[in-house]
A and B are shown apart, each in its own frame.
Chain A
Amino acid sequence: KQEVTQIPAALSVPEGENLVLNCSFTDSAIYNLQWFRQDPGKGLTSLLLIQSSQREQTSGRLNASLDKSSGRSTLYIAASQPGDSATYLCAVTSGSARQLTFGSGTQLTVLP
């Protein structure tokens, strides 16, 4: 059964810092990996989608990489801002059911 782990569980940084969030998964037979953002009590906003054949995706200050063979992904946030404060979730799509398996998230706080 696919399992997704995110480290660290929480992270607090001063504004302007570059930071890296980590995600690992146990079964490398994935279709894709998505990074989401969730604000407290709110829905999920998709940030980046990386197909299994891709190595990385970029959107603005965000860059996500995928190393499928080692079961790892990183989300790089450049020049962090207080508005980036949220929980970041990593999820992989795998199996014949195309199930999305989520990690437990990294709660990010960017201090002004």
Chain B
Amino acid sequence: EAQVTQNPRYLITVTGKKLTVTCSQNMNHEYMSWYRQDPGLGLRQIYYSMNVEVTDKGDVPEGYKVSRKEKRNFPLILESPSPNQTSLYFCASSLLTRGRSAEQYFGPGTRLTVT
């Protein structure tokens, strides 16, 4: 089954304790990205990657890191989480085709609470 998986689905942590949220897709997609969703602010892009070893900032990258060492994986790293990073996080992936853009598939979400 074609899918995007995220782990963990729920996480409660404390300020300053490094954490990683994993994202994996099995569709051989080149493009992967991370979004956060907050009430009143909607969904905003954090980072994106167009291929292995190619990553770039989205609209709200502060406090986050990413890496793309393999095509299927795109982990989101919070080196020193703060309460303002409490949010619902989504990973997404899609094919990248010249001149067109394919449907983006979303993972189930990770609800993060930082106390």
Q: Do A and B come from one complex?
A: yes
Would you call the interface of chain B mostly helix, strand, loop, or mixed? strand
Contacts of A102 in B (CB 8 A): 42-44
Q: Are B101 and A93 in contact (CB under 8 A)?
A: yes
Residue B33 CB within 8 A of the other chain: yes
Number of A-B contacts (CB under 8 A): 58
Q: Mark A37-69, 1 if CB is under 8 A from B, else 0.
A: 000011110100101000000000000000000
A interface footprint on B81-115 (CB within 8 Å = 1, 0 otherwise): 00000001010101010001111111111010000
Q: How many residues of B contact A (CB 8 A)?
A: 28
Asked if B48 is an interface residue, CB under 8 A from chain A, the answer is yes
Mark each residue of chain B from 17 to 28: 1 if its CB lies under 8 Å from any CB of chain A, else 0.
Answer: 000000000000
A32 part of interface (Cβ distance < 8 Å): yes
- B58, A43: Cβ atoms under 8 Å? no
- Could you tell me how many residues of chain A have their Cβ less than 8 Å away from some Cβ of chain B? 22
- A99 CA to B104 CA, complexed, in Å: 10
Q: Are A99 and B45 in contact (CB under 8 A)?
A: yes
B109 touches A42 (CB 8 A): yes
Considering the complex, give the chain B residue whose CB is closest to the CB of A101. Answer: B45
A98 touches B48 (CB 8 A): yes
- The CA of A34 and the CA of B106, in the complex, are separated in Å by 12
Q: Nearest chain A CB to B13's CB is how many angstroms away?
A: 19
Task: Write out, one digit per residue, whether chain A residues 86-105 have a CB within 8 A of any chain B CB (1) or not (0).
Answer: 00010101000111101111
A31-B101, A49-B103, A105-B42 known; A100+B108 contact, CB < 8 A: no
CB neighbours of A98 from chain B (8 A): 31, 48, 50, 94, 96, 101
B79 on the A face (CB < 8 A): no
Question: Can you name 17 A-B pairs with beta carbons within 8 Å?
Answer: A31-B100, A32-B101, A32-B102, A34-B103, A41-B88, A41-B111, A43-B106, A43-B108, A43-B109, A49-B103, A89-B43, A93-B101, A93-B104, A97-B58, A99-B33, A99-B48, A103-B42
